[in-house]
Structure 1
Amino acid sequence: MARLVPIGVAAQELGVHPMTLRRWETEGRIDPPLRTQGGRRRYDLAKLRAIAPHKAPSTRSTIAYARVSASGQKDDLVRQVALLESYCAANGWAYEVISDVGSGLNYHKRGLKTLVSRICSGEVGRLVLSHKDRLLRFGSELVFSLCEHFGVEVIIINASEDSTFEEDLANDVIEIVTVFSARLYGSRSDENKQVMERLQEVAKELSP
């Protein structure tokens, strides 16, 4: 259900003066607000946030996002979540954790889709990651652009741990190999099985 608020609350949430909202309405930049029986304006915050970048108010959610590529990395996921929880708790933030098990090349993971949906609805004020690539292997900049547009603060705990070009390349290749190995898995074709085995060997050779 849409959250309808009076003009003063809407302006405060967006960090603008109430007159700015009236001007945007006159210019056609926003839809005319709903009116109460007494004629008072009521604004849909989600719609306003979609067109008006703003600073994230402290009342919005802090979400910590964790991801590993495969079910065999569940222990790593547990450690990642523990790090995120410790960091958020140390800063005194009320938070929730969204986690995924799936390739960084997969844009259809349930947790990621939930995260993006909530960012676009204006619910999220802060996004916390352990590393940049935990979000996506490729395409994370698009999500960061959405965060900037909707006023979401992005915190990457280990952002200072820069990897080398060779390490980034190796990790990218491993991610791609993992995806293609999964697609070939279970096939009865001996040729496909041989390809899969070779891909897995390559991944082990490249693994840091």
Structure 2
Amino acid sequence: MDMEEYLSIGKAAKILGVTPKIMRLLTKRQVGFGTRCVVYARVSSAKQSRDGNLERQKERLLEEAQKRGYDPVLVVAEQASGINDKRRGLWRVLHLAEKRGFDVLLIEFPDRLARFGYRYLTEYLRAFDVRVETARDMPPASFEEELTRDLITILTVFSARLYGRRSKGFRKKITDTIQEHHEKGGESPFGHSHEDPDSAAP
């Protein structure tokens, strides 16, 4: 009798004398057999970490790695903003990729890896034969709240830099301009000769 080249899960389970459920698990293990995986979990706030969100995210990813038959060689769980490019955990992942220490980076969804520049990171990892896989297609309901928090962080950083410049060279430039107008007998460029340059500047 000719043997079929491919067998269904049910037929293969019957031949091996195991249940179809066990056969499915064996099949999944075979698909990912030998695949070295890094699990990367991230939350942006200390509150999320305290509430157990980070731990639960890590556990979900480890469970997903097991389902896919991957062998986790590193688990990174960190609390940091998605726009922070100085994350220790992320840099640890990148350095391990450079050493070709794993094959798959498993994250819950793209935003966990980076708020901005996700494609740059995936292309960089691909250069070291590392592929990025996501466990979920859609972010959780708190996505909008976290995005708002990161946008506020961006505004805070740029505002600090702007006011930092103003407190030095920028402030001096405004003061010199006002003084020059006074010496020429002209009106202040801001409309009132006694106006504070800090409050008048945009």
Structure 1-normalised TM-score? 0.52
Q: Show CA shifts across 1:164-201 (max 9, x none).
A: xxx977653321225667999xxxxxxxxxxxxxxxxx
Amino acid aligned to 2:129: G
Unmatched segments (≥5 aa) in structure 1: 1-56, 185-208
| 2:118 matches 1:143 | no
For residue 67 of structure 2, what is the aligned residue in structure 1?
90
For residue 108 of structure 2, what is the aligned residue in structure 1?
130
CA distance in 2, matches of 1:124, 1:80: 21
CA distance in 2, matches of 1:67, 1:180: 22
For residue 177 of structure 1, what is the aligned residue in structure 2?
152
For residue 96 of structure 2, what is the aligned residue in structure 1?
118
Instruction: Name the structure, 1 or 2, with higher relative contact order (CA <8 Å, separation 6+).
Output: 1
CA distance in 1, matches of 2:90, 2:124: 13
Work out whether residues 126 and 154 of structure 1, in 8 Å CA contact, stay in contact via their aligned partners in 2.
yes
For residue 38 of structure 1, what is the aligned residue in structure 2?
none
Work out whether residues 58 and 125 of structure 1, in 8 Å CA contact, stay in contact via their aligned partners in 2.
no
| SS at 2:41 equivalent | strand
Amino acid aligned to 2:40: Y
Work out whether residues 83 and 114 of structure 2, in 8 Å CA contact, stay in contact via their aligned partners in 1.
yes
Q: May I ask how many residue pairs the two structures share in their alignment?
A: 125
Change (3 A) 1:149 1:107: same
- Give the drift of 1:59: 5.0
Q: Show CA shifts across 1:81-108 (max 9, x none).
A: 0110110112222103111111111111
| 2:34 matches 1:76 | no
CA distance in 1, matches of 2:113, 2:70: 21
| SS at 1:138 equivalent | coil
1:95-114 matches, within 5 Å, as 95=72, 96-114=74-92
Unmatched segments (≥5 aa) in structure 2: 1-31, 160-202
| SS at 1:127 equivalent | strand
Q: Show CA shifts across 1:50-105 (max 9, x none).
A: xxxxxxx9656310100011111111101100110110112222103111111111
Query: Based on CA coordinates, which of the two structures has the bigger radius of gyration?
Result: 2
RMSD of the alignment, in Å?
A: 3.1
Q: Show CA shifts across 1:5-50 (max 9, x none).
A: xxxxxxxxxxxxxxxxxxxxxxxxxxxxxxxxxxxxxxxxxxxxxx
Work out whether residues 82 and 115 of structure 2, in 8 Å CA contact, stay in contact via their aligned partners in 1.
yes
1:187-206 matches, within 5 Å, as none
For residue 158 of structure 1, what is the aligned residue in structure 2?
136
Structure 2-normalised TM-score? 0.53
Work out whether residues 119 and 146 of structure 1, in 8 Å CA contact, stay in contact via their aligned partners in 2.
no
Change (3 A) 1:144 1:176: same
